[in-house]
């Protein structure tokens, strides 16, 4: 039974790694935890060959059908910015599409948003990943502009839906999974969840009619949805971070919206949740709330504490024991459907051609949108790691 619990606990974790090669310590704890997958950052990525070797070895020590996550949104959040070439932001692409008019963005007759998704999908596969943690579907509102920058595509729900629908179609055409984020919406957050638990004082009706429109309309196209660590005190979740709230995960996302894909927490190392509760409590709480995958991006200590906390709770609570085993079975089934095979490597010539295509695309988008930013800002940690 203990072996089953350890397998179940590990299979809900998505973990970060320290550098560009596995250390002996990392190999040891990966064998112990057998996580659902890995998430890599700029610190882990030099070139496609090195990155593939790292991802292959790490996932070889992980659970079957491992997730291979990377953050490539375009703009300031792009882990391939130095290893490939900068990619335009979602906001710039959405603005360029608006200038071109419907269905006139690319040579194929599709939108620039679809081409954006296809190029990001092709880049993600080139480095050996099967998922990009994009698109951001938050509303680009003035109150969150300092934190979000150009990551959110538009200020109105219709604009976000238009971009997101085509972007996800572009990813799907390349066989890459996308992840809508940050549910239920950070467009009205003035604080950064890396440091604090922002209080978003919008009513549920306001959130349902605006922030949740992309999820309501496109949830069947989203293989994964990431929950955030903000609080919504004017709703039934009160001051609890959304990632730890049964109201947002189970009631709204699963029951009212009808979502059937994977629910992924934002990084559990963030201040938005760790200032609210310790990692051990957070791990158990988010699973009870309805999360499928728990993301821990940096600290080995916190990865192991989370792993042990899930096992300890399952050993003392029959209800949590059943929940953990059931959730692990469900997640394994969904991973097997979603992560089939390992993306093929590109030749040197194909990789160079991809870089040239991205450069031409970025130039076109920048000219049409008149401005864009691809350089991370000191105020936004998500844009640096």
**Active-site amino acid positions:** 194, 266
**Distance from CA of residue 194 to its chain's centroid?**
15
13-15 and 294-296 beta bridge pairing: parallel
Structure tokens at 35: 């996580």
Picking from 144, 263, 253, the residue whose alpha carbon sits closest to that of residue 200 is 144
Residue with tokens 């391939």: 80
Q: Which stretches of the chain are DSSP H helices?
A: 2-10, 24-33, 48-60, 90-100, 112-126, 145-148, 157-173, 204-206, 213-218, 246, 271-274, 279-289, 300-316, 318-338, 348-369
Q: How far apart are CA 102 and CA 109, in angstroms?
A: 9
224-227 and 13-15 beta bridge pairing: unpaired
Q: How far apart are CA 205 and CA 256, in angstroms?
A: 13
Give the strand order in the sheet containing 131-132. 131-132, 67-70, 37-40, 13-15, 294-296
Question: Angle formed by the axes of helices 279-289 and 318-338, to 10°?
Answer: 70
Measured CA to CA in angstroms, residue 106 lies from 86, 111, 277 at distances of 19, 6, 47
Q: How far apart are CA 69 and CA 16, in angstroms?
A: 10
Q: How far apart are CA 270 and CA 228, in angstroms?
A: 10
> Which conformational region is residue 270 in: left (phi greater than 0), alpha (psi within -120 to 50 degrees), or beta?
beta
Q: How far apart are CA 117 and CA 170, in angstroms?
A: 4
């Amino acid at each position: 039974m203990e072996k089953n619990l350890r397998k179940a606990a590990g299979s809900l974790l998505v973990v970060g790694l320290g550098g560009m090669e596995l250390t002996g310590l990392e190999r040891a704890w990966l064998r112990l935890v057998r996580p659902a997958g890995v998430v890599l950052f700029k610190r882990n990525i030099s070139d496609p060959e090195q990155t593939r070797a790292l991802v292959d070895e790490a996932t070889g020590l992980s659970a079957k059908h491992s997730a291979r996550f990377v953050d490539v949104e375009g703009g300031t959040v792009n882990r391939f910015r130095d290893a490939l070439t900068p990619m335009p932001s979602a906001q710039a692409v959405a603005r360029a599409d608006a200038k071109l008019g419907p269905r006139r963005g690319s040579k194929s007759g599709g939108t620039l948003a679809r081409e954006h998704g296809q190029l990001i999908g092709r880049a993600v596969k080139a480095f050996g990943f099967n998922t990009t943690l994009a698109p951001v579907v938050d509303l680009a509102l003035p109150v969150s502009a300092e934190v979000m920058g150009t990551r959110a595509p538009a200020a109105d729900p219709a604009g976000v839906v238009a971009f997101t629908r085509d972007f996800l179609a572009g990813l799907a055409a390349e066989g890459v999974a996308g992840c809508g984020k940050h549910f239920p919406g950070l467009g009205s957050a003035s604080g950064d969840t890396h440091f604090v638990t922002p209080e978003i004082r919008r009513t549920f009706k306001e959130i349902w009619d605006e922030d949740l429109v992309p999820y309501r309309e496109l949830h069947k196209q989203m293989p994964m949805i990431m929950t955030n660590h903000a609080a919504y005190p004017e709703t039934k979740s009160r001051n609890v971070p959304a990632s730890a709230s049964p109201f947002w995960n189970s009631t709204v996302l699963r029951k009212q919206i009808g979502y059937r894909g994977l629910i992924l927490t934002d990084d559990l190392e963030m201040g938005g949740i760790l200032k609210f509760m310790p990692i051990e409590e957070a791990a158990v709480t988010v699973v009870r709330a309805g999360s499928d995958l728990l993301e821990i991006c940096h600290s080995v200590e916190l990865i192991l504490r989370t792993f042990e906390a899930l096992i300890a709770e399952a050993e003392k609570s029959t209800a949590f024991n059943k929940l953990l085993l059931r959730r692990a079975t469900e997640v394994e089934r969904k991973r097997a459907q979603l992560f089939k095979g390992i993306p093929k490597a590109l030749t040197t010539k194909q990789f160079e051609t991809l870089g040239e295509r991205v450069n031409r695309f970025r130039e076109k988008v920048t000219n049409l949108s008149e401005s864009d930013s691809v350089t991370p800002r000191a105020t936004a940690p998500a844009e640096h790691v």
